[in-house]
Structure 1
């Protein structure tokens, strides 16, 4: 059984890795982020600004912890993930949600369906980022919005150095203590270090067709929120 994905991010490898950490995934993230993941999720909910009866796609939703804030607004939320292990755990916990298995580069939805699409800490694990951004664009209604929450590059250089040291040295031993699959968190650290910075991701969004692209740093740039809009049809 594959326990750790490589940085070429083959979908089967990544899905298998997340299947293996599904049961303790939310708890482990809470510990490794020092509880910051809850604050980040709250900021995502504000940025998505879901409204009653709107359709929201939560891609890479995992166990749907990220989906719950949208349901509280009265929106119709579809949690989508390609890890069947994550979906199974999510369905046990939140059986009323319409969990959907799907690959970010080939989404199982029609064109122009969702008022908002969002992905938190999952775009980094997709094998073809531009293809995923185009797919999110395709399934979004004209005038709709995308919100991406992803690890990014701390803006203050001395802190960036400390942060990188934490990722590569401290995170794996902490993960060994709390995670069912510590090798998955070695991949996590490597994939964060390898990920484009804020302006580079904004450029990828624009290339996929999104307009009015902007970003906001959270926790000094450890995480960045990117937002864009699908232009209204003329």
Structure 2
């Protein structure tokens, strides 16, 4: 067994979690229900405060104008939705975890419970779709990407903000060690359900790199696909257009 395999095995046995929870929507939603109470503060701590900048960059990449309607999928407590709503944009928070939506009930944006693979919206009903740090938790990401295209008007935009692969190899190694060791330990101190962050660390490690995700967007019918790295590739913004 390699060191990497041993680390993964140790984490699974210590946390009592499957590596991916089989991505069953009800099971993943229940996991997010359990972390909802301290989700925002945990994200800020684990990201070293970078999460606010990532949200601003996502809004800028979307480029929505006043009066347009955008859907924020996997919106969680709607912190990201509030950011998207700046400047008169009508931003709607959508999440399959009702616990998350309740935790963000005080935020003044429309909210709807819904699954990324079966959105409760009509065809071509929004000007843009954003999903931040949620696509990797969907049971079938390709089906979700096609669903995002279904609800987006021609000429509309998709932005996927997701953890990715650091471009500098020495830092990539350090980052992997942080994910598998430091992240769950920090979560032990600040999260309302630290076990969930073992799963989240594994889901980040298993996620496709920038080029592979761009290929998947193209395969789902999005055109003019491009990406921009944030924080050295720890996060990547992928953007596509609905032809």
Shorter-chain TM-score tier:
over 0.9
Matches of 1:211 and 1:162, distance apart in 2: 34
1:87 matched residue in structure 2 = 101
Q: Does 1:60 align with 2:65?
A: no
- 1:4/1:13 CA distance change after superposition, 3 Å: farther
Q: Where does the alignment leave 5 or more consecutive residues of structure 1 unmatched?
A: none
Matches of 1:200 and 1:146, distance apart in 2: 17
2:232 matched residue in structure 1 = 220
Q: Where does the alignment leave 5 or more consecutive residues of structure 2 unmatched?
A: 1-15
Q: How many residue pairs end up in the alignment?
A: 227
CA offsets 1:98-144 (integer angstroms, 9 cap, x no match): 21000001111110011110000000100000000000000000000
Instruction: Say whether the 8 Å CA contact 2:19–2:202 is kept in structure 1.
Output: no
Instruction: Say whether the 8 Å CA contact 2:226–2:239 is kept in structure 1.
Output: yes
CA offsets 1:140-180 (integer angstroms, 9 cap, x no match): 00000000000000011111000000000111111000001
Q: Does 1:123 align with 2:135?
A: yes
Q: CA RMSD in A?
A: 1.1
Matches of 2:66 and 2:228, distance apart in 1: 25
Larger helix share, 1 or 2: 2
Shift of 1:4: 5.7
Shift of 1:69: 1.6
2:192 matched residue in structure 1 = 180
TM-score, structure 2 normalization:
0.91
Instruction: Say whether the 8 Å CA contact 2:222–2:242 is kept in structure 1.
Output: yes
Instruction: Say whether the 8 Å CA contact 2:38–2:191 is kept in structure 1.
Output: yes
Shift of 1:5: 6.8
Equivalent in 16, 30, 33 of residue 30 of structure 2: 16
Q: Secondary structure at the match of 1:24?
A: helix
Q: Does 1:166 align with 2:178?
A: yes
Q: Secondary structure at the match of 1:182?
A: coil
